[in-house]
């Protein structure tokens, strides 16, 4: 598969997100771009076989770890799954680290990042206290590599280069972000990387 260029990915984003609109524009959700975006989700929901295969592969690759579906269905640019790579030492007041694998519905791309969640009184706080798009903590690199290999094996997709994650996509309006806040990562994968169910 030929690698994408940044310009090509920006054009992909412009096919699925309206340009020249703001969040208070009442026509925002009626644009042809939003219709394409939601059609893409309807197609994905009709056949989730590869996504479920990936989830099964991750459960096999991480026996004893919690593997969850972190997808904001019909809201984000793709699927997300999380693997609790490091459990909190003390669930009453500890910290967990998770690896999150993202698979875009808009382009044959994936991305893997990490989160750090605090536990207080036995409950995990949400959103994450920190998330790591560009540089993963060293303790997560092995788990992140496993997640990436599983995605490549099931989907055959290529990774979005880490240095491109924060590249702005000028003029497009994501669901609840103003155009100035749109990035390739948010458009292709998830609007809220720190929020995991």
Predicted confidence at residue 24, as pLDDT, reads 59
Q: What is the pLDDT along the chain (197 residues), one digit of tens a residue?
A: 678 999 999 999 999 988 876 555 555 567 899 899 999 999 999 999 999 999 999 999 999 898 999 998 888 999 999 998 887 776 677 888 999 999 999 999 999 999 999 888 878 888 999 999 989 999 999 999 999 999 999 999 999 999 999 999 988 878 766 666 789 999 999 989 998 87
CA dihedral 17, 50, 128, 63 (to 10 degrees): -170
Predicted confidence at residue 91, as pLDDT, reads 66
Burial class (CB in 10 A: 0-12, 13-18, 19+), 45: exposed
Phi, psi of 77 (to 5 degrees): -80, 0
- Name the H helices within the chain: 6-16, 32-46, 49-61, 141-155, 184-188
Predicted confidence at residue 179, as pLDDT, reads 62
Q: Give the C-alpha separation, 65 to 62, whole Å.
A: 5
Nearest by Cα to 106 from 14, 3, 6, 5: 14
Note the pTM of the prediction, 2 decimals.
0.92
Predicted confidence at residue 70, as pLDDT, reads 92
Predicted confidence at residue 144, as pLDDT, reads 97
Q: Give the C-alpha separation, 79 to 110, whole Å.
A: 9
């Amino acid at each position: 598969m030929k690698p994408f260029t940044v310009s090509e990915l920006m054009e992909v984003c412009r096919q699925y997100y309206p340009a020249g609109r703001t969040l208070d524009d009442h026509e925002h959700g009626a644009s042809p771009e939003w219709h394409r975006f939601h059609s893409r989700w309807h197609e994905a929901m009709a056949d989730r076989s590869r996504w479920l295969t990936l989830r099964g592969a991750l459960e096999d690759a991480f026996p004893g770890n919690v593997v969850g579906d972190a997808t904001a269905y019909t809201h984000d640019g793709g699927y997300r799954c999380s693997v609790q790579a490091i459990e909190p030492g003390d669930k009453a007041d500890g910290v967990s680290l998770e690896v999150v694998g993202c698979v875009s519905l808009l382009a044959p791309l994936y991305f893997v990042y990490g989160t750090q969640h605090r536990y207080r009184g036995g409950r995990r706080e949400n959103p994450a206290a920190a998330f790591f798009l560009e540089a993963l903590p060293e303790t997560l690199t092995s788990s992140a590599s496993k997640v990436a290999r599983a995605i490549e094996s099931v989907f055959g997709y290529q990774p979005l280069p880490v240095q491109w994650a924060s590249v702005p996509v000028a003029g497009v309006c994501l669901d609840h972000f103003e155009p100035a806040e749109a990035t390739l990562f948010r458009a292709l994968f998830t609007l809220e990387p720190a929020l995991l169910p």
